[in-house]
Every structure is written in C-alpha cells, then in structure tokens.
Amino acid sequence: MRSSDSVAAPAAEARAVRSAPSAPEPVVAPMRRALTGSGRGPRLALATLAAIGHEAGEAGVPILIGVIVDRAIVTGDPGQLLLWVGVLAVDFLILSFTYRWSARMMVTIYGHAENDLRNVTLQRVLHPRGLRTRRSVGDLLSVTTSDTYRVAGVSWSVVQQAATATAIVVAALALLRISPGLGLAVLGGTAVVLLAMHAVSRPLEARGLAEQRAAGRASAVAADLVAGLRVLHGIRGQEAAARRYRVASADARSGAVRAALAMLRYTGASSLLAAGFLALLTLGAGSLALRGRITIGELVTVVGLAQYLQGALGHVGTFAANWMHKRASARRLLEVLGDHHAVPGPEAASEAQDRPVAGDEPTAVGRAGAPALRLDWPDEGIDVEVGPGELVGLVPAGPAHARRLADRLALRVPGGPGEIRVSGEDALDLGPRAYRGRVLAVPHDARLFSGTLAENLFGAPLATPAVIAATALEDVLVHAGGWDGPVGEAGRRLSGGQRQRLALARSLASDAQVIVLDEPVSAVDPATELRIATGLREHPAAVLVITGSPLLLSGCHRVVHANRGSGSPEVDR
C-alpha cells in the first residue's frame, strides 16, 4: 500500500503540468494559420502559380508588341504579322484564364481563412477555462471581426506580391536581352525602392495597432451603452453616456484618420519614387535608340515595360506597409489566442481550439458519503459543507466581494487545489466542463435570450409546478401570455424582477447537483422574496446563495459570513 505522500505526489505533479505556462507563439503564427491551415497550402500554391502566370502574361504584352514591330511592321511581312498577332492572342487568353482561376481560388482561400481564424478566436474566448486577462466585450468583438479580417488578407498579399515580383523579373530579363544596362537598372531600382520604403514603413505597425485598440475601446463603450440603455433612461443619464461614446468614437476616428494619412503618404512616396525611376529608364532607352543601339521595336518594348513597371514598382513600395498593418492585427489576435487560461488545465492555450480538453470529460458522481459541495477558503474565513437538499447562505462583505466569490465558485478565476470539492472530488481535477456539469454557478447579471418563455427555460416541460411555485413565476406567465409569449430582446419586455425570477427558474429547472446563486432576487419585492426563500429551502439540490438579504437568509438552513479572512462560524437555523 502506498503512503499518503506517494498518492498525493502524482496529483500535485499533474497540477504543476496543468499550471505551467505555454511557450509564447511568434507573431507570425496567426498568419501561418491563415495561409496553410485546414489544408489550404496546396490550393494557395496553385493560386499563386496562376497569378504568376497572369502577371508574366501581362509583362509579355509589350515584349510581343515590340517583336511585331520589328519582325512584321518594319519588314512588311504579312506572315510574321499573322504569326505574332496569333501569339499575342494566345498570351491574352492565358493571362485572362489565369486571372479568373487565381481570383476564384483566392476568394475561397481567403473566405475559409477568415472563417477559420474567427472560429479559433471564438473557441478561445468561449473556452471553459476562460482567459486570464480580462477584456471588454467590445475589444474582443474588434479582434474577432476586424483583426481576423486583416490577418486573413495575408493570403492575398502572398499571391499578389509573388506575382508582382515575377513580373519584375520577366521585365528585367527582357530588358537585359535588349540592353544589359537597362535590365540591371530595373533590378537595382527595384531593390532601392523596396529597401527605401521598408525603412519608412516601420511606424505603420504601431499606428495600425493604436487604430485597432481605439476601435476596440469604442466598441466596448457602444456595447455598454446598448446593454444599459433602459437603466440610462431611468436615471436620465443618456446625455452623459452619449458624451462618453462621442469621446471614444472621436478617438477611434482620429486613430483611423492618422493611420490612413500615414498610409496615403507612404503610398504617394512609393508611387513618386517609382515614377521618377521609370522616367529615367525611358530617357535612357530613347538615348540608346537615337544612337542606333536598340531597334524601334525594342524602344516600344522598353516604353511599354516602363509603363507596366510603374504599377509593379508602386506595388513593391507598399509591400512593407501591407505586412506592418497585418502584423499589428496579428499581434492583437495573438494576445487573445496566446493568453493563459484563467483556470489551469493540461493543455497549452494554443491547443484549446483543436481538440477536446483533456480531463474535462464528464466523470462518474463522486465519492459516497461526501458532501455535495465543500469550500475550504482560509483567506475568506470559510470552511463549509453543503449537502443535498440544504440551503446555505454566504454573506459577502459587499457587492464587489460577492462578484469575486461567485467568480471563484464558477471557476472563472484561478483557484488553488482542494479549495472547492464536489462530492469529494477536487474541482481542479474535474476540470471546468465536468465541474460545470455538476455545479451551476449563475452570474448575478444572468442574461435572458430573445425569444419566448419556453425557449428561455429550454422547453416548458422542464419548468415543473414546483419550480414555478418556488420562483413565483405565475404572474410572468400571465404577463407574457403563456409559454409561447415573447420576452423581447434580452428579456426587455419583462421587468427587472420578472427577469430575475425567470433566470432563477431556469437554474432550478436544471439537473445540477449544486446550484450557486449570486444575489438572485435583488430586484424582487419583499413578499415575493420571502416566498422564493421558502422555495429554495425545499429544493432537492444543494443550494448556496451569496446574499446579504435578511429575508433570503431567513430561509437558509445555515449562514456563513465571508469577511475576507475574519469569517465567523456557521450559524444553524
């Protein structure tokens, strides 16, 4: 038989593995996922080859026109004219077909990449183990929509930039054949444009990051404003809320304008640099033609390639800026995907979206004879057990303290080993999914869904007469017009007390072993509150209610005061 120390060692080692932080991913990880995730790599390669074929065909047009001038027009040979016009027609067919093929594939690749990134981000945000860093809803919405949109666009960048680089190489090879000096000038000029524009693009990443963060803050303020609109009307706070939103919106607008102006200045400088270089190239070709060093057809080719290269070199100048903006969004995306879990778990944060969470599968009901819930929180002065059919009151030091206690009981914040046990099993060993299958910890601001009463209770049959009576739900049924009556968006057709009672009925109708309630009847009148206290006392599950209400506490079997380290002993009722 092993000693107690040897038995505890594997569990402690497992917890250490669960708590170990994962290695941070590089900022390119979201980009790599957008490019090659879900088997998109081969399709992206084909799309890139098609785009390269299109740009090579585009670059071939002025080359073929120059050949036609020299071999057919200057010589007056109809056969050569028909031959090379036919070659030109085939070139147009190829560049048209490859463009359509590449564009169709890229729309699919980009759409799937954006959807993949959004799904991964949502799975991380909604992961049972949560995010250690608290972020506003608006900021998460901005990351999930705007930043994933930008990062997914990296597929377009790869394809278009590879095609542009190929076009410049084709043009340079043609110019090398005409005049080595012209070809080398194009290759050197491309390198100069690329390096120069990269040097001035470095502030763009910081501007893009600031722009996205300002947009996230504005989204957060807007979400708060919409969620609290009814309360704002009640306290006549519309003007103050509107001022707050105008300030946040103005900051977001200023950030977007600054980023856009920086990009415009960057693009203008790129175009100006490319145009100046190509003007010199054309003048050089004209000088060579006047001296008889190149033919008329070759001069036509050089002028045509110069016009074509103006767009290509302008695009080369935007390469760095394009990647800087995407890096800024990738950095924000990685802050969410790479965030540690609020509740320790066996897998790294980056793996959470790819497979089920190990150790979170439902397990058998815990040890026989163990209490349904056991709390051992020395820092709160709490050591309490709650058995089936018991109603225990937990008195917080204040509203903020109540929210913290509820977060600990819901495993929304990190906890230590042995602090919470369900039927004798450590909550950390169970994992959030299995724990939440047994313990229903309802937030104080539990939301209702748009729809009917029945849909908010996940089906009327679950609301037994006992649950309806325990939550005094009869008048809510009458007010809504029965189970099929609509409750409005987020339950706004109901009063605050009616919404609380409907949310409470939803909790009591569940099959959880333990129900944790956080000030569940703060908007209910005293008579109804007393009736609910009696209903909670008679509920068959173990019920722990966090409240400071004397009426609700009067129905409890026992009351525990949580005074953050100076708790008083339990009081039997």
Tell me how far apart the alpha carbons of residues 2 and 259 are, in angstroms, rounded to a whole number: 65
Mean pLDDT over residues 4-14, rounded?
A: 39
The most confident of the ranges 26-35, 197-206, 452-461 is 26-35
Is residue 366 pLDDT above 60, yes or no?
no
Q: Which of 307, 247, 257, 397 is nearest to 61 (CA)?
A: 307
Residues 6+ apart with CB under 8 A from 484: 452, 453, 454
What is the per-residue pLDDT for 12?
42
The most confident of the ranges 187-196, 275-284, 505-514 is 505-514
What is the per-residue pLDDT for 180?
82
Tell me how far apart the alpha carbons of residues 430 and 232 are, in angstroms, rounded to a whole number: 42
Is residue 460 pLDDT above 60, yes or no?
no
**Exposure class string for 258-275: b at 16+ Cβ within 10 A, else e:** ebeebbeebbeebbebbe
% of residues, the chain, pLDDT over 70: 78
Q: What is the CATH number of domain 25-351?
A: 1.20.1560.10
% of residues, the chain, pLDDT over 90: 24
What is the per-residue pLDDT for 25?
56
Mean pLDDT over residues 359-387, rounded?
A: 75
What is the per-residue pLDDT for 353?
38
Q: Which fold does the domain 373-572 belong to in CATH?
A: Rossmann fold (3.40.50)
Tell me the pLDDT tens digit for each residue of 150-180.
899 888 888 988 888 888 888 888 878 888 8
What is the per-residue pLDDT for 349?
36
Other Cβ atoms within 10 Å of 519 Cβ, number: 20
What is the per-residue pLDDT for 365?
52
Mean pLDDT over residues 438-462, rounded?
A: 79
For residue 375, name the pLDDT band (cuts at 50, 70, 90): very high
Is residue 529 pLDDT above 70, yes or no?
yes
Which of 70-84, 139-153, 158-172, 182-196 is the least confident region? 182-196
What is the per-residue pLDDT for 231?
57
Which of 90-99, 292-301, 529-538 is the least confident region? 292-301
**Per-residue CA distances from 394 to 107, 115, 518, 547 (Å):** 56, 44, 9, 6
Mean pLDDT over residues 320-347, rounded?
A: 79
DSSP state of 341: P
What is the per-residue pLDDT for 359?
41
| Helix, strand, coil fractions of the chain, as percent rounded to 5 | 65, 5, 25
What's the whole-number average pLDDT of the chain? 79
Tell me the pLDDT tens digit for each residue of 232-271.
555 666 777 777 778 877 877 777 777 777 767 767 776 7
What is the per-residue pLDDT for 7?
35
Mean pLDDT over residues 366-385, rounded?
A: 84
| Segments making up each domain of the chain, as ranges | 25-351, 373-572
Is residue 20 pLDDT above 60, yes or no?
no
What is the per-residue pLDDT for 391?
95
Q: Is 334 in contact with 27 (CB distance < 8 Å)?
A: yes
What is the per-residue pLDDT for 214?
73
Is residue 410 pLDDT above 80, yes or no?
yes
DSSP state of 153: T
What is the per-residue pLDDT for 255?
73
The most confident of the ranges 138-142, 361-365, 458-462 is 138-142
Is residue 193 pLDDT above 70, yes or no?
no
**Exposure class string for 118-149: b at 16+ Cβ within 10 A, else e:** bebbeebbebbbbbeeebeebbbbbbbebbbe
Tell me how far apart the alpha carbons of residues 245 and 222 are, in angstroms, rounded to a whole number: 7
Mean pLDDT over residues 377-384, rounded?
A: 89
What is the per-residue pLDDT for 296?
84
The most confident of the ranges 23-37, 96-110, 210-224, 556-570 is 96-110
